[in-house]
Structure 1
Amino acid sequence: MFQPSEKAQAIIADINAFVRDEIKPLEKRENLQWGGSYPRELLQRVWRMSCEKGFYNIMLPEALGGAGLSVADVCAVKEATVLSGAMLAPHILGELSGPPRIGHLFKVATDHQIQTILQPICRAEKAICFALTEAEAGSDATAISTSAVRDGDHYVLNGSKRYISGASYADYAVLMAVTDPNAGAAGISAFFVDLKADGASVRDDYGVMSGKGAHGDITLENVRVPVENLIGEEGKGFKLAMGRITVNRLLHCPTMLGMAGLALQLSIRHAQTRSQFGKPIAAFQAVNHMIADMATELAAARALMYATAAQYDAGDNIAVQSPMSKLFCSETAFRIIDRAVQVHGGAGLIQGNAVEFLFRASRMMRILTGTSEIQRNAIAKGLLMPG
């Protein structure tokens, strides 16, 4: 069984204390509900609180102010943060707005971009989102049509992005646009786009399954983006976006398993305290078996995730194991949380109940960052056409 390093264990203990002493009391004072829409002002308070505690940048390398953790330790910290049971857990690590979104860009960003965009994000002064998906470009990411045409010292951007997580409260987007329509993937470039610029707008008046307020559509109408906001070289945007897809697939797994683990904890507690027919429902074999299956499947998924993370940390190729992990963890987490709803009965169907929210959020995970079918394609390709 994987054991986090002493450094990671200390971080986990500190995060649990932070959640207990500051985040959960804040959630109670603000009357937050699972799956609710949280105002940006509140989120920014959490980002700054986390930044002051040293948690916001933890996933970055030490040279960039992070903890310099192995990928396995990052998985442990992410899983534990979700397991803490905080509604605001993703914001403690800046997952939807901060350093995890831009850590890999320090290698290609200019000094100007680092000083004016990346460092303010790491200080929790600005928020950022990643904008690739479009109405006709989901799994086929190279089919994007948003265009960027050079005009002197600017690029003029036109198009729209859809279902962008974190867009609702982002100041900037790392946005992919076509600079050469005849070059396919090699004609896609990446830009830092100021979402407050003339012609840029964000529509966030809709909700996804996990709730409102965290996703939005970005529309660009003749938005002038300075040439100095081009990330890396022209035509290298798609490669930049896909360059970390293997490890990113793996790094989604601890979030899913943290959700599943939280659902299991809540189900055990509910089974021990909820009485029917004069005794706790934990006394009924049907409930026992559901909880036993939940725990067993969670252990199997965690074993796969941490084995894959250990391979990556050892320098091995995980081109097959990473999509395996994303596929298995996302589908297993959903099954576990589905059983949690069953254990909770009617209470598990009520919006505002944690397991009801986890059910909806976990269902999204089988689609986000590559559907289960895309993961199967990647696994099969790696097995049938290695190299």
Structure 2
Amino acid sequence: MSAAPLPAGFEGSPEAAAFIARVQAFLHDELAPLAATEGIDSAHAPDRALLRRVWRLSHERGFYGMTLPRTMGGAGFDLVDHVLIKEAIYASGSPFAPHVLGELSGPPRLGALVQAATPYHLAEVIGPVARAEKAICFAITEPEAGSDAAAVQTRATADGDGFVLDGVKRFISGAPFCDLAVVIACTDAARRETTAFFVERDRPGCRIEAGYKTMAGQSHTGNIVLESCRIPAANQIGERGRGLALALGRITVNRLLHTPAMLGLARLAFEDARAHALARRQFGQPIAGFQAVQHLLADMATDLAAARALMLATARRLAQGGDGRAEASMAKLFCSEAAFRIADRAVQVLGGEGIVQGSRVEFLFRLLRMYRVLTGTSEIQRNTIARELLAPAAAHTAAAEPQPA
């Protein structure tokens, strides 16, 4: 793996370009040899101890806390720079790509919680997570609460000077290697009231059930089982009843921030397909000379360009203070669908090589298929887009109707 040059006409700031150059050198010079030595690739995931080494290295090099506020050591990049940096990290092909910025376990998981943190939270949770000393995950999803996040059944019952939690959180990214979790629990079932809490992994009554893998062969997810798990009142985050509001406080931005990962991975699939088409010979010529293959490559390049343009346009809108709820859902919908189409066509270009496990495009096909489900399914994105599109019309219709005297 070699550090790829920045494309001509780089859309971000000079500071972001310099940051990308440094992070590419880190990926190439330090993480690539580490992955080779430890045997880490798409089929062999790093264990918790190795991930801690990666997080600490990234923190020492100034990458891990990039997304934090400047007051906490963050880089202060706007959203356009952020998506470009993340795209470049994933386009490197490094198996450690999700861990350089701590996306499954570090500062990006804190999100809007920083604004509701108490001095105790800053000292015991936020600070250690920012310094790569502790790993954190975000636990909302349950067996009966997925798209309907307000339907959580995990209960938090006030008891003396704390709370007792009971329930199961399912498919939680980063759970296998977390030190603590942000748990959204029901504090009033009748009102569907939810509250957020920090729950330490080593508390009695808390256990992690991991070991299962996603269709991409990764083991980044697990279940968090809470059985009469007692936590102090100080572990409550923000006001009671504001759990989902805190969890969803950055949902528009977070939806957008998944798109550069998809597009970085899709670029890998496209580049592998193009290289194979130029190298593979049939009937006396490279298969890139056949119109059928040319059309596949043309469609892949067009999908990639269109998805990337939508991602950047949405990032600019949000960076300028625009609402962008519909646009962020459009970006997540289109980029996830387009990235999977690119991977699907890459498999087609590689033919037999593309369907063998161990082939990178075969892995990317499985991984990019997951993004159509993760972080809000395509159907949920369409619901959001439609609601945003129809809301002004509905309001206009209501205002035009005669009102009762």
TM-score bucket (shorter structure): over 0.9
Where structure 2 has 5 or more consecutive residues not aligned to the other structure, the ranges are: 1-8, 396-405
Q: Distance between the aligned counterparts of 1:371 and 1:107, measured in 2?
A: 28
- Matched with 1:365 is 371
Q: For 1:170-196, what per-residue CA distance to the aligned partner results, in whole angstroms no more than 9, with x for missing partners?
A: 011111000111112xx1000001111
> Which residue of the other structure, out of 189, 203, 208, is the alignment partner of 2:209?
203
- Residue from 296, 299, 314 that aligns with 2:305: 299
CA distance in 2 between counterparts of 1:274 and 1:115 reads 57
**Is 1:338–2:344 an aligned residue pair?**
yes
Q: Which residue of 1 aligns with 2:360?
A: 354
Equivalent of 1:20 in 24, 28, 50: 28
1:83 touches 1:259 (CA, 8 Å); kept in 2? yes
What CA distance in whole angstroms lies between the structure 1 residues aligned with 2:69 and 2:85? 15
Provide the C-alpha distance between the structure 2 equivalents of 1:89 and 1:273, rounded to a whole number of angstroms: 28
CA contact (8 A) 1:61 1:69 kept: no
Pairing 1:87-102 to 2, within 5 Å after superposition? 87-102=95-110
- Report the number of matched residues: 385
CA contact (8 A) 1:191 1:231 kept: yes
Cα distance between partner residues in 2 of 1:223 and 1:105 = 22
C-alpha distance in structure 2 between counterparts of 1:123 and 1:305, whole Å: 30
Tell me which of 288, 313, 321 is aligned to 1:315. Answer: 321
239, 251, 274: which one pairs with 1:245? 251
* Paired residues of 1:166 and 1:215 also in contact (CA < 8 A): yes
Bigger RCO of structures 1 and 2 (CA < 8 A, at least 6 apart): 1
Structure 1: any 5+ residue segments left out of the alignment? none
Q: Secondary structure of 1:247's match?
A: helix
Matched residues in 1 for 2:279 and 2:124: separation? 53
Query: Once structures 1 and 2 are overlaid, which stretch shifts more, 75-84 or 336-345?
Result: 336-345
Asked if residue 262 in structure 1 is aligned to residue 268 in structure 2, the reply is yes
Give the secondary structure class of the aligned counterpart of 1:385.
helix
Matches within 5 A, 1:1-387: 3-184=11-192, 187-386=193-392
Contact 1:178 1:189 in 2 (8 A): yes
Secondary structure of 1:211's aligned partner? coil
Distance in 2 separating the partners of 1:217 and 1:278: 54
Q: Which amino acid aligns with 1:193?
A: V
Conserved in 2, the CA contact under 8 Å of 1:33 and 1:352? no
**Larger of the two Rg values belongs to structure:** 2
**Per-residue deviation at 1:61?**
2.2
What is the CA–CA distance in structure 1 between the aligned matches of 2:130 and 2:82, rounded to whole Å?
A: 17
Tell me which amino acid in the other structure corresponds to 1:145: Q
CA-CA distance at 1:36 after TM superposition: 2.6
Between 1:27-36 and 1:62-71, the stretch displaced more is 27-36
Secondary structure, aligned partner of 2:112: helix
Does the CA-based 8 Å contact 2:112-2:246 persist in structure 1? no
Change (3 A) 1:87 1:251: same
- Contact kept? 1:257, 1:298, Cα under 8 Å: yes
Task: Describe the shift of the 1:147–1:368 C-alpha distance in structure 2 as closer, same or farther (beyond 3 A).
Answer: same
Q: Is the 8 A contact 1:82 1:255 kept in 2?
A: yes
What amino acid maps onto 1:352 in structure 2? Answer: G
Asked whether the 8 Å contact 2:65–2:74 carries over to 1, the reply is yes
**What CA distance in whole angstroms lies between the structure 2 residues aligned with 1:149 and 1:317?**
36
Cα distance in 1 for partners of 2:45, 2:37 equals: 15
Cα drift, residue 35 of structure 1: 3.9
In structure 1, what is the Cα distance between the partners aligned to 2:281 and 2:347? 16
**Cα offset, 1:340, TM superposition:** 1.0
Structure 1 range deviating more: 207-216 or 147-156? 207-216
Map Cα deviations across residues 96-119 of structure 1 (whole Å, 9 max, x no partner): 010011142221011111111111
What amino acid is aligned across from residue 31 of structure 2 in structure 1?
A: I
TM-score of the pair, normalised by structure 2: 0.93
Shift of 1:33: 2.3
CA distance in 2, matches of 1:16, 1:72: 18
Tell whether the 8 Å contact from 2:156 to 2:163 is kept in structure 1 after alignment: yes
**Greater CA deviation, 325-334 or 101-110?**
101-110
Q: Which amino acid aligns with 1:312?
A: L
Amino acid aligned to 1:251:
L
